[in-house]
């Protein structure tokens, strides 16, 4: 006859299980946060170093090349999102074919656009080919990152993020330090980036788990890509409009303010990364926790900007922008709202909702329409339009999550 456990022992066991789960998530969150800092730090180091090693023309060429990789590499982020949701919902599956197709499309786009890029952007003829290698490597690596995220191996995910960033930027940094010029730096970057997919695939390998899950479809990848692109477009639309509507000096000031917006947007993203696999398995509590953490982080940043707006602008752009400190809370609020929107968007994608990113595209169109109609010519006027767009978009996404979506198929534990 099995001995009956006392209430005290049961409570102790539950405390140990809960404590272990919290400690595990804490370690995972810390690891992913540190990896994100490393990724952003290396990305920031490249232009800082290039500004000191290259002349103006070469600096512009390198900056343009890196921007092209960021733009054409967006499907890699969408692929990671789609793979993570699919893996969390169904378990391991063969995603090599769809990954190869996505990488080929991204790299092929750059190769096909070579004549246009060379003539319109004044880039060396070999640059698109080098960028194609780097972009393909990023997309191929995204599959492994998605698998690690989907199976909640977050410490390994953090290691993978760090390895990919080192491969993506390490060669470029080394080329700049060696005085190789923009083309040489991009060639070194392409070489180191090309090593990343094999290393990350080994890191994400799951021995002894045969694949019985359905294949990841192109529609799922397209949905992930569309959501990622929508998030980038809606969060950068006001910055692009500033160059068209404001004077050069005001546009520069607005760009400094958007540094605060992007900080408030990306600072709490670790919550979305950790919550996504659980959201894919229908865990509503994870959504509540992610929203609470993201919203709380945004509130703290808005309050800090209210108390030290001048300091925030000095850190972001220098003493010349200190007088814009009164606008710092509004810029931070825009980013904080879009951070919440990003969590809600992930929840919709994880639930299998169709047209999950539609509110973001509508919000972007609304901001453009307002700007075209009212033609705001000052920083506060455009900022208020951007803030209004963020409020409406977040509200619409909050309403959308109440609508029933396709129930995720959850594998029994």
The DSSP string of 109-122 is HHHHTHHHHHHHS-
Residue 406 in any domain: the answer is: no
Mean predicted confidence (pLDDT) in 167-190:
95
What's the whole-model pTM score? Answer: 0.81
Shared domain check, 313 and 169:
no
Residue 292 in any domain: the answer is: yes
- Number of domain units in the chain: 2
Output phi, psi for 38, to 5 deg: -65, -45
pLDDT of residue 99: 96
pLDDT of residue 393: 95
Shared domain check, 57 and 140:
yes
Output phi, psi for 134, to 5 deg: -60, -45
Given the structure tokens 């969150």, which residue do they identify? Answer: 29
**Nearest 5 degrees, angle CA 240-CA 242-CA 248?**
120
Q: Would the pLDDT of 360 be above 90?
A: yes
The pLDDT-based confidence of 368 (bands split at 50, 70, 90) is very high
Q: Which residues contact 287 (CB under 8 A, 6 or more apart)?
A: 275, 279, 343, 347, 401
pLDDT of residue 120: 86
Residue 411 in any domain: the answer is: no
Mean predicted confidence (pLDDT) in 263-267:
87
Q: How far is CA 274 from CA 205, 315, 347, in A?
A: 20, 30, 12
The pLDDT-based confidence of 211 (bands split at 50, 70, 90) is low
pLDDT of residue 318: 75
**Nearest 5 degrees, angle CA 219-CA 110-CA 179?**
130
Given the structure tokens 């010519």, which residue do they identify? Answer: 377
Shared domain check, 280 and 249:
yes
Shared domain check, 321 and 371:
yes
Shared domain check, 173 and 100:
yes
Shared domain check, 157 and 90:
yes
Residues 116-173: tens digit of each pLDDT: 999 988 889 999 999 999 999 999 999 999 999 999 999 999 999 999 999 999 999 9
pLDDT of residue 283: 85
Task: Give the chain's count of helices (H) and strands (E).
Answer: 17, 0
Asked whether the beta carbons of 149 and 274 are under 8 A apart, the reply is no
Shared domain check, 384 and 330:
yes
Residue 128 in tokens: 């698109």
Residue 6 in any domain: the answer is: no
Q: Which residues contact 73 (CB under 8 A, 6 or more apart)?
A: 106, 135, 138, 139
Average pLDDT taken over every residue of the chain: 87
Share of the chain above pLDDT 70, in %: 90
Residue 390 in any domain: the answer is: yes
Given the structure tokens 């899950």, which residue do they identify? Answer: 213
Domain stop point among 216, 235, 260: 216
Q: Would the pLDDT of 262 be above 60?
A: yes
Residues 22-45: tens digit of each pLDDT: 456 678 888 998 998 899 889 888
Shared domain check, 123 and 236:
no
pLDDT of residue 208: 61
Sign, CA torsion 79/84/90/91: positive
Asked whether the beta carbons of 82 and 221 are under 8 A apart, the reply is yes
Residues 276-334: tens digit of each pLDDT: 999 988 888 889 999 999 999 999 999 999 998 888 888 777 787 888 889 999 999 99
Shared domain check, 315 and 209:
no
Mean predicted confidence (pLDDT) in 97-112:
95
Full domain range(s) for residue 243: 221-400
Domain stop point among 216, 246, 281: 216
Residue 259 in any domain: the answer is: yes
Q: CA 21, 412, 269, 229: dihedral to nearest 10 degrees?
A: 170
Q: Which residues contact 349 (CB under 8 A, 6 or more apart)?
A: 81, 85, 223, 224, 227, 356
Q: Would the pLDDT of 240 be above 50?
A: yes
Asked whether the beta carbons of 401 and 344 are under 8 A apart, the reply is yes
pLDDT of residue 404: 56
Shared domain check, 98 and 82:
yes
Residue 256 in any domain: the answer is: yes
The pLDDT-based confidence of 4 (bands split at 50, 70, 90) is very low
Domain stop point among 192, 216, 240: 216
Shared domain check, 144 and 270:
no
Residue 305 in tokens: 């900007």
Q: Which residues contact 327 (CB under 8 A, 6 or more apart)?
A: 257, 309, 379, 380, 383
Shared domain check, 333 and 318:
yes
Q: Would the pLDDT of 178 be above 90?
A: yes
Mean predicted confidence (pLDDT) in 251-273:
87
pLDDT of residue 210: 57
Residue 18 in any domain: the answer is: no
């Amino acid at each position: 006859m099995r001995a009956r456990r006392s209430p005290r022992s049961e409570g102790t066991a539950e405390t140990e299980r809960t404590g272990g789960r919290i400690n595990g998530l804490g370690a995972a969150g810390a690891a992913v946060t540190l990896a994100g800092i490393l990724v952003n730090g290396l990305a920031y180091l490249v232009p800082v170093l290039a500004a000191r090693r290259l002349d103006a023309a070469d600096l512009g060429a390198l900056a343009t090349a890196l921007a092209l990789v960021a733009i054409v590499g967006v499907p890699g982020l969408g692929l990671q999102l789609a793979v993570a949701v699919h893996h969390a919902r169904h378990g391991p599956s063969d995603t090599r074919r769809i990954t190869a197709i996505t990488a080929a499309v991204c790299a092929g786009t750059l190769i096909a656009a070579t004549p246009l890029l060379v003539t319109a952007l004044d880039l060396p003829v070999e640059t698109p080919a080098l960028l194609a290698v780097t972009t393909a490597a990023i997309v191929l690596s995204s599959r492994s990152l998605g698998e690690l995220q989907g199976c909640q191996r977050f410490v390994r995910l953090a290691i993978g993020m760090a390895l990919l960033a080192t491969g993506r930027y390490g060669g470029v940094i080394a080329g700049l330090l060696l005085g190789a010029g923009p083309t040489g730096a991009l060639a070194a970057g392409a070489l180191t980036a090309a090593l990343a997919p094999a290393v990350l695939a080994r890191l994400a390998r799951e021995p002894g788990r045969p694949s019985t899950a359905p294949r990841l479809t192109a529609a799922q990848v397209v949905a992930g890509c569309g959501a990622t692109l929508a998030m980038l477009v809606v969060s950068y639309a006001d910055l692009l409009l500033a160059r068209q509507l404001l004077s050069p000096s005001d546009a520069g000031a607005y760009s400094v303010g958007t540094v605060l917006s992007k900080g408030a947007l990306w600072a709490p993203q670790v919550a979305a990364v950790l919550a996504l696999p659980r959201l894919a398995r229908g865990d509503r509590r994870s959504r509540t926790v992610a929203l609470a953490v993201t919203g709380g982080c945004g509130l703290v940043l808005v309050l800090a900007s209210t108390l030290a707006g001048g300091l925030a602008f000095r850190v972001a752009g220098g003493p010349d922008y200190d007088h814009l400190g009164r606008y710092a809370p509004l810029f931070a609020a825009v980013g904080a709202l879009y951070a919440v929107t990003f969590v809600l968007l992930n929840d919709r994608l994880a639930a299998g909702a169709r047209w999950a990113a539609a509110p973001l595209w509508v919000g972007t169109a609304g901001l453009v329409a307002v700007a075209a109609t009212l033609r705001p010519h000052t920083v506060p006027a455009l900022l208020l339009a951007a803030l209004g767009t963020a409020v409406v978009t977040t509200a619409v996404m909050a309403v959308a999550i109440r609508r029933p979506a396709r129930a995720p198929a959850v594998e029994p534990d």
